Amino acid sequence: MAEIINLRAARKAKARGEKEETAKDNRILFGRPKKARTLAEAKKAIEVSRHEGHKLVGRDDEG
């Protein structure tokens, strides 16, 4: 005898598998977690502010 299969459950399982494949591809493409992105942005902001703080402003540059 053949095994009885619930077609609705089989479709849902197939859809879950496809979503997981898409998610796997997206993790590879967009890879960095939010914590790493915000840390990098904060470091960049500190670096820019330090760089701007070292600029020399002379009499001719003030306007």
Taking the complete model, does pTM exceed 0.75, yes or no? Answer: no
- Which residues are within 8 A (CB) of 40 and not within 5 positions of it... i.e. 6 or more apart? 32
Confidence at residue 6, expressed as pLDDT on a 0 to 100 scale? 95
* Residue 62 pLDDT class (50, 70, 90 cuts): low
- Domain ranges for the chain, please list them: 7-53
* Residue 59 pLDDT class (50, 70, 90 cuts): low
In this predicted model, what pLDDT tens digit does every residue of 6-55 receive, in sequence order? 999 999 999 999 999 999 999 888 888 889 989 999 999 999 999 988 88
| H runs (alpha helix) in 3-33 | 7-30
Residue that the structure tokens 């001719």 belong to: 60
